Chains A and B, each alone.
Chain A
C-alpha cells in the first residue's frame, strides 16, 4: 500500500500513463539541453548526506530517519554512510554525490518512514512519538477527509516553499500537478480510510523530488 503512494505521486505529477520503469516507452537520452550560454555556471548538485539529514529534519519540524529508542537514537544516514558514498578517508576520499539507484532507494526508505511519522504527529495519532504537531500541513487538518480546496492549495503552496524553496502562489498553474497529486492519493482506499495518508503521500513526493535533494 505504501509503495502505491509513490506511484500515485509520480503519476499525478504528470508523468505519462505508464511509469518510467517501463523505459522502452521513454527517451531520456541526449535531450535538448537548456542553453546556458557561454558564461560560467554552477553545477546543480545533489545534497551531501549531512545536508540531506539536516534538511529532512528541518522541513519536518525535527523528524529524522533514525533508528533506536529515545536514549540511543542514531541517524540511519550515519549508519548507512559508507553505503551511501560518504568517504571514510581511509578507503575512500571523495564523496559520491550521484543520484544513483542506491541513493534513490535509501531516500525512498527515508521518506516513507519520516512522512508516515510526520503525518501521524501532525494528525495527533495516539501512537505518535515525535512530539507535538508543528503545523507543517497548515491550514489543513490532516485528519479531515475532504478539506476545502483553498486550504489544500494554501498547504501545498506553503509546503513547496518549505521543501523546495519555490514560491508558487495559490492559483498559480504550477500548483496544479501537486493539487492533482493530492486529489488522486486522497481518492485511494487507504486515504479514504485514514485521510492523513494523502498528506503522507504528498510528503513522500516532495522529499523524493529532485527539487528537494538538489540545489
Chain B
C-alpha cells in the first residue's frame, strides 16, 4: 500500500503529542513513497498557490475558482485597491496600536447609570446606584412607586414617606414617561426624581457635569441625556474604536502617504459619539476626555438638541460624518483610543517606539546592575542608575504627549495651561488649597530638594532638560517627523510590514533587501500599497513550501 503520511497526519500527530507551531512542520516531516501522488515539494510557489497566498494576505479570503484563471499580476492592482485590503491593513494595525478601550468604563460616572426595577406590575427605569437611591429617597433600596408622579405648584416632584421592609423610612415619588435619547420612538416609565430635566439644581450645581451625580437636586435631564445604560457605555467605547479603524481604512483607501496617518486631521463621527461629546463628556468618573480636544459646538447636533434633518441620532451608529480635527491633533497618536489605551505619556511613547521605530524599551538580558543607595537619592529617572538605561530616552519621548492629560485624553492648551502656574506652586508649598487644575495637571509635591524647582510646573516639564522642553509644544507628530528625517520611522515601517507578510522576523542578512524596499517606499512617496506590492511580488515572498 502506498504510504503517505500527509501533513494532515503530521499535524494531528503533533497535536496529539502536545501541540506545536505549524511553522515547525515542513513536508519533509512526511514520507512520500510515491512522489507522483504527493504535492510537489517545490520551494517556489506555483501560480495557483501564489495567487492563493496573495489573496489571503491582501483580501483575507481564498480566491474564487474563476479567479485562478487570471494571473496574479493581472489581479494584484484590483486587490490592493479593494476595501478588503484596507480591512486587512486595519487588522494589521490593531497589532501595532492595540485599540481596545472596552475596559475604560470610568469615562462614565457609575452614579449616572440607568437600569430597570420591577415595581408592582411595571418595569420602571431609574438610576440604579444604591448611593443615588440613598441620596434621592433616603434609603439604599428605595425605588419610586408604580403610579404617575405628582408635582407641587412650583413644579417640584411630590414625595411621600413609606416604610421599607427593614423598618426604615424612604421618601418616594411616582413615575413620569420619557422618550430616552437612545430610542426616541419609545416611551419609558422613569422615576420622576431621576427624570428631572433642570440644568441647574436648587443648590446651584450644573446637573450636566459629574457634580450632578452627587447632588440630590439633579436628575438625568431632558430625554435622560446626562445618564447612561450599560449598552450606551459599550456602544460609545466601541464607536471610539471603530472610528480609529475608519480613519486607517480611509487613509489606505485614499492611498495617502503612510506617515500622514500620524499627522492627519481627518476624523469621522457617528450618533453615539456625537451624543457622548455633547452630553456625556462631563459626567466622567475618573478618566476624562476634557479639556475637550475637539470643538464640541462645531459637531453635528443630536435630535434632542435640534430636530433639524442633519442631526445625528443615537441610533445613527452606522452613519459616519467626516470632520476636521484641530491643529494640535496628531492623527492616531492623539486619538482617544490611543490615549485611553495607553494612559501615561511613557506608555504612549513606549508603544510608538516599539511599533513604529522598532526600538522597544527593554532592559538587557540579565538586567541592569544598580547601586541601590545611589539610585535612591536620585529622583530624576533620566539620571537614576539603572532607570536611566531606558528613561534617558523615554522621558524626552514621553514629553511629546505632555499637552495631553494622563489617565485621560484631554488637551491642555497652552492658552489655559501655561508651563508654570504660581497658584500651583503656592499650593505645593502648603500656602493654599490645591485646585483641581493644579492637582491634576501641575507638580504640587516635592519629596526632595531637587524636586522643589518643579513646583507649579506643568507635569510634562518635570525634570525635563531645557533642550527637550520644546517637545511638549511640538506634540507626537514631531516624533514621526523626526523618524522620517533620520530614516528610523521609514525603515521600521518597511521591517514591520515585511514581517507581517512573511510571517517571521527578518534576518540580519536581509538588511540589503530592507534597504531596497525602503528606497522603493520613499520613491512612492510613502504609499503603503506600493510597499506591500514590493514585498508580495518579491522572490522572498514567493519562496515558500
A positions within 8 Å CB-CB of B: 10, 13-17, 19-21, 23, 26, 28, 31-37, 39-48, 50-51, 54-55, 58-59, 87-90, 93-95, 97-102, 104, 158, 161-163, 165-167, 173-174, 176-177, 205, 208-211, 214-215
Number of A-B contacts (CB under 8 A): 205
Inter-subunit contact B544/A15 (CB<8 Å): no
Cα separation A29 to B195 with both chains bound (whole Å):
70
Inter-subunit contact A43/B65 (CB<8 Å): no
Question: Quick one: given A36-B43, A98-B21, are A42 and B12 in contact (CB under 8 Å)?
Answer: no
Question: Quick one: given A20-B13, A40-B507, are A210 and B95 in contact (CB under 8 Å)?
Answer: no
Question: Quick one: given A45-B503, A58-B62, A173-B36, are A39 and B5 in contact (CB under 8 Å)?
Answer: no
> A31 touches which one: B20, B28, B503 (CB < 8 A)?
B28
CB distance from A25 to the nearest CB of B (A): 10
A-B pairs with beta carbons under 8 Å apart, 12 shown: A10-B6, A14-B3, A28-B10, A33-B28, A36-B545, A41-B540, A42-B504, A94-B95, A95-B95, A162-B65, A177-B37, A205-B8
Nearest A residue to B21 via CB reads A98
Inter-subunit contact A90/B37 (CB<8 Å): no
Question: Quick one: given A31-B28, A51-B60, are A89 and B22 in contact (CB under 8 Å)?
Answer: no
B positions within 8 Å CB-CB of A: 1-23, 25-30, 34, 36-39, 41, 43, 46, 48-49, 51-53, 56, 60-65, 68, 91, 94-95, 98-100, 102-103, 341, 501-504, 507, 509-510, 513, 539-545
Cα separation A163 to B53 with both chains bound (whole Å):
13
Inter-subunit contact B5/A16 (CB<8 Å): yes
Listed from nearest, the 4 A-B pairs whose CB atoms lie closest are A165-B52, A14-B4, A20-B13, A43-B503
Question: Quick one: given A167-B48, A215-B52, are A20 and B37 in contact (CB under 8 Å)?
Answer: no
Inter-subunit contact B22/A99 (CB<8 Å): yes
Cα separation A88 to B60 with both chains bound (whole Å):
19
List chain A residues, Cβ under 8 A from B14. 28, 99
Question: Quick one: given A10-B9, A32-B28, A95-B95, are A45 and B22 in contact (CB under 8 Å)?
Answer: yes
Cα separation A183 to B266 with both chains bound (whole Å):
60
Cα separation A97 to B95 with both chains bound (whole Å):
13
Cα separation A173 to B65 with both chains bound (whole Å):
21
Inter-subunit contact B12/A43 (CB<8 Å): no
Question: Quick one: given A89-B100, A90-B102, A209-B6, are A161 and B11 in contact (CB under 8 Å)?
Answer: no
Inter-subunit contact A43/B68 (CB<8 Å): no
Inter-subunit contact B3/A44 (CB<8 Å): no
Inter-subunit contact A34/B62 (CB<8 Å): no
List chain A residues, Cβ under 8 A from B60. 50-51, 54
Inter-subunit contact A210/B7 (CB<8 Å): yes
Inter-subunit contact B98/A40 (CB<8 Å): no
List chain B residues, Cβ under 8 A from A51. 56, 60-61
Question: Quick one: given A34-B26, A44-B23, A55-B62, are A215 and B53 in contact (CB under 8 Å)?
Answer: yes
Cα separation A209 to B2 with both chains bound (whole Å):
19
> B68 touches which one: A55, A167, A205 (CB < 8 A)?
A167
Inter-subunit contact B15/A104 (CB<8 Å): yes
Inter-subunit contact B51/A165 (CB<8 Å): yes
Inter-subunit contact B15/A100 (CB<8 Å): yes
List chain B residues, Cβ under 8 A from A33. 26, 28-29
Residue among A40, A58, A98, A101 having the largest count of chain B Cβ atoms under 10 Å: A40
Cα separation A89 to B56 with both chains bound (whole Å):
23
CB distance from B34 to the nearest CB of A (A): 8
Question: Quick one: given A54-B61, A161-B68, are A21 and B16 in contact (CB under 8 Å)?
Answer: yes
Given A32-B28, A167-B68, A211-B7, 11 more pairs with CB closer than 8 A: A14-B2, A16-B3, A26-B13, A34-B26, A43-B23, A104-B15, A165-B68, A173-B36, A177-B6, A209-B7, A210-B25
Nearest A residue to B513 via CB reads A40
Inter-subunit contact B29/A28 (CB<8 Å): yes
List chain A residues, Cβ under 8 A from B37. 14, 173-174, 176-177
List chain B residues, Cβ under 8 A from A88. 100, 102
Inter-subunit contact A42/B503 (CB<8 Å): yes
List chain A residues, Cβ under 8 A from B23. 43-45
CB distance from A181 to the nearest CB of B (A): 11
List chain B residues, Cβ under 8 A from A20. 5, 9-10, 12-13, 16
Inter-subunit contact B61/A89 (CB<8 Å): no
CB distance from A155 to the nearest CB of B (A): 12
CB distance from A139 to the nearest CB of B (A): 14
Inter-subunit contact B540/A15 (CB<8 Å): no
List chain B residues, Cβ under 8 A from A59. 62
List chain A residues, Cβ under 8 A from B52. 165, 215
Inter-subunit contact A98/B20 (CB<8 Å): yes
Inter-subunit contact B8/A10 (CB<8 Å): yes
Cα separation A9 to B433 with both chains bound (whole Å):
78
CB distance from B378 to the nearest CB of A (A): 32
List chain B residues, Cβ under 8 A from A32. 28
CB distance from B430 to the nearest CB of A (A): 40
List chain B residues, Cβ under 8 A from A166. 39, 48-49
Inter-subunit contact B539/A39 (CB<8 Å): yes
Question: Quick one: given A36-B543, A211-B39, A215-B53, are A165 and B16 in contact (CB under 8 Å)?
Answer: no
Inter-subunit contact A44/B22 (CB<8 Å): yes
CB distance from A10 to the nearest CB of B (A): 6
Nearest B residue to A210 via CB reads B7
Residue among A41, A59, A177 having the largest count of chain B Cβ atoms under 10 Å: A41
Cα separation A61 to B256 with both chains bound (whole Å):
35
Cα separation A200 to B10 with both chains bound (whole Å):
23
Nearest B residue to A50 via CB reads B60
Nearest A residue to B6 via CB reads A13
Inter-subunit contact B16/A23 (CB<8 Å): yes
List chain B residues, Cβ under 8 A from A42. 53, 501-504, 540-544
Inter-subunit contact B4/A15 (CB<8 Å): yes
CB distance from B162 to the nearest CB of A (A): 42
Inter-subunit contact B17/A43 (CB<8 Å): no
Inter-subunit contact A47/B541 (CB<8 Å): no
Inter-subunit contact A87/B95 (CB<8 Å): yes
CB distance from A87 to the nearest CB of B (A): 7
